[in-house]
């Protein structure tokens, strides 16, 4: 595996800043909770998420958070409905959450404005307090990621996941203590020996597939995107449940498979998929501590002692 040394160093440096980003979010937790509680979500019957690229993967994580903790249906918007097809939205009793690192994407801003005009409550999560998206929303949550140089977003994605967690936990009136999460993130940033070992033997030229399920599904998509951005190779990402419905037929004994299994995850939910993958290829790499691996499989890394949600957030470091 190879990419520009300078580019790789920038990415590693920004990933290493993640604990500081999380500390800043934690220090402002009470302020975020106050802002979130100030908006009336009592009549919300559905949620629409608006995002692109890496932020779209963060939105997928938020979808699972809201549907499992609030019980309200949540879907991903198609901004072209507004920007291309000029549809007049009907979003009464709907919460629209827009996620964007820059807050500058014209289609995301346009959809958010249209949603607000249609009666929706609008919330945005960006890395720029003064961005058009922040200004267009009823509530803006700053993700505290600071300046990000690398084109492949890293610390801002992690910050989006934590901000999504803070928002949902506050809405659901769940207690929050982020100290263990931050400690695990610090640990993973400081010890990357397993990652370096895995990189040495990871041959991406034989085809790469990344999988996750539940909360980790978003990270599977994000990992695939990061490999595409940095190594310039095609990578497929799937839900481990969907993978059995056709895509597994393209798997060969030379294929590389990356599986996400965070601590607290229901390992039984991916057992059938893993069993069939193991019968085809031995080139299996794991991120997370939530599944019993075989001796010939590679553990890249993963947090421990956390809930499934927090472990999913921490495992992004890997």
Q: Where are the domains of the chain?
A: 5-176, 192-317
How many percent of the chain have pLDDT more than 70? 98
pLDDT at 27: 98
CATH match for 5-176 among 3.40.630.30, 3.10.20.70, 2.20.25.90, 3.40.50.10490: 3.40.50.10490
In the CATH hierarchy, which fold is given to the domain comprising 192-317? Rossmann fold (3.40.50)
Give the Å distances, CA to CA, from 48 to 29, 99, 110, 146: 24, 11, 14, 27
CA 113, CA 50: separation in Å to the nearest integer?
A: 12
Question: Locate tokens 């009136």: which residue?
Answer: 173
Per-residue pLDDT of 208-258, as tens digits, reads 999 999 999 999 999 999 999 998 999 999 999 999 999 999 999 999 999
Mean pLDDT on 96-117: 98
Using an 8 Å Cβ cutoff, are 22 and 141 in contact?
no
pLDDT at 1: 47
Task: Give the CA dihedral 21, 23, 24, 25, nearest 10 degrees.
Answer: 90
Quote the pTM value.
0.95
Of the two residues 58 and 318, the one the predictor is more confident about is 58
């Amino acid at each position: 595996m190879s990419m520009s040394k300078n580019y790789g160093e920038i990415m590693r440096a920004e990933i290493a800043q993640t604990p500081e980003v999380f500390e800043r979010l934690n220090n402002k937790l009470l302020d975020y909770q106050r802002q979130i509680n100030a908006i009336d979500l009592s009549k919300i019957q559905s949620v629409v998420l608006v995002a692109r690229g890496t932020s779209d993967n963060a939105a997928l994580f938020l979808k699972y958070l809201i549907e499992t903790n609030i019980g309200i249906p949540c879907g991903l918007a198609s901004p072209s409905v507004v920007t291309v097809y000029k549809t007049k939205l009907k979003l009464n009793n709907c919460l629209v959450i827009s996620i964007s690192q820059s807050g500058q994407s014209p289609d995301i801003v346009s959809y958010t404005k249209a949603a607000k005009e249609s009666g929706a409550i609008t919330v945005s999560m960006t890395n720029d307090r003064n961005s058009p998206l922040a200004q267009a929303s009823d509530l803006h949550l700053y993700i505290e990621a600071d300046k990000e140089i690398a084109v492949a977003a890293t610390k801002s994605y992690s910050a989006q996941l934590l901000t999504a967690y803070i928002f949902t936990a506050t809405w659901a009136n769940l207690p929050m203590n982020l100290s263990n999460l931050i400690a695990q993130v610090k640990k993973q940033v400081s010890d990357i020996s397993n990652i370096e070992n895995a990189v040495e033997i990871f041959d991406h030229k034989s085809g790469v597939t990344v999988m996750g399920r539940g909360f980790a599904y978003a990270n599977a998509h994000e990992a695939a995107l990061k490999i595409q951005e940095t190594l310039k190779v095609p990578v497929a990402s799937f839900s481990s449940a969907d993978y059995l419905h056709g895509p597994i037929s393209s798997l060969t004994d030379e294929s590389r498979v990356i599986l996400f299994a965070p601590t607290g995850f229901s390992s039984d939910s991916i057992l059938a998929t893993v069993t069939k993958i193991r019968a085809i290829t031995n080139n299996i790499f794991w991120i997370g501590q939530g599944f019993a691996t075989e001796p010939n499989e590679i553990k890249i890394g993963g947090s421990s002692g956390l809930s499934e949600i927090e472990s999913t957030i921490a495992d992004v470091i890997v």
